[in-house]
Amino acid sequence: MKTPKEREMSMLGSIKYKLKQVLKYLPVVLVTIFWGASFVATKFVVNVFEPFPAALYRFLIALFVLLPFTKKKKIANINAFWSGFWGITMYFVFENTALRYTSPTNAAVIVSSVPLLYVLFTHVFHKVKTNKYHYLGSVLAFLGVALVILNGRMMKLNPLGDILAFGAAISWVFYTHYVVRIKDVVGIDQTFSITFWGVVTLVPFSLLQNMQAKFEIKSVSSLIYLGIVCSALGYLLWNKSIEVIGDRKTTNFIYFIPLVTVISEFVLMKSKPTIYNILGVTMLILGLYIFERGEEYGKERFGN
């Protein structure tokens, strides 16, 4: 039988372990909040800057912010190149162009399919063990997010814009694929090398558009926020989360990004949640719970 002192030590050990498990999710929770709130800032920026130059300036700011903290400026890495190309250049080329032809609502729903697409991608190409709980949870979570975003409205299809938005979703799947393959650089050094190649490959696209802009306090401050918080810090936290909790669990947090946007709207615009919002959030949480059960089921059955 344990003494009171031993019971106290055991309880403290259990609390420390649980706290450590919770803190592992802090990076991805923070970046979800940053990116969820970025839509308002992006709207201010693209009202003044052309879409491609706006992305270029955003990541140039991020590059200069990361530069003083980078110890190993190891940019000669093929996986870092492809990460920057897919996760920065092609993602924003597709998304920003899509928003010229389709609604933000359509784009948000389509881009929210990334976790579901990544589960399918890792199953087919990485041969990651995937069970019915993974797919059921992913589909349910995606439908929940779609319900929150659409809020009872029908989704009006815009073929060209919707295909481009789907291109953005595919780009983020490829980005995650290549980030996982980067082994020789981590942390800030890794984010710097990815951002460097993102900037380099964004330049040709930016030259196709007018790179001049009217400087307004609101647009410039929004661009600085996007560059420092959403890009330099955001990509750093996202990549760290992949390292700590895994690529699939990190990617699942994309479901929460539009949810943060909707919550921001409730807070800032004093709008009330609808039955569709509440039902959608319930489906999202239930879907992620089922997905997590799939992870535990896989460990119990396959021992990994």
Percentage of residues in the chain with pLDDT exceeding 70? 86
64: its two tokens: 């200069």
pTM, rounded to two decimals? 0.83
Res 129: pLDDT = 81
Which tokens is 88 given?
């920065």
pLDDT band at 7 (very low <50, low <70, confident <90, very high): low
d(CA 179, CA 81) in angstroms, rounded, equals 10
**pLDDT class for 300, splitting at 50, 70, 90?**
very low
> What's the rounded mean pLDDT across residues 261-290?
75
Mean pLDDT of the residues in the chain? 84
Task: For residues 19-30, give the mean pLDDT.
Answer: 87
Confidence category of residue 264, pLDDT binned at 50, 70, 90: low
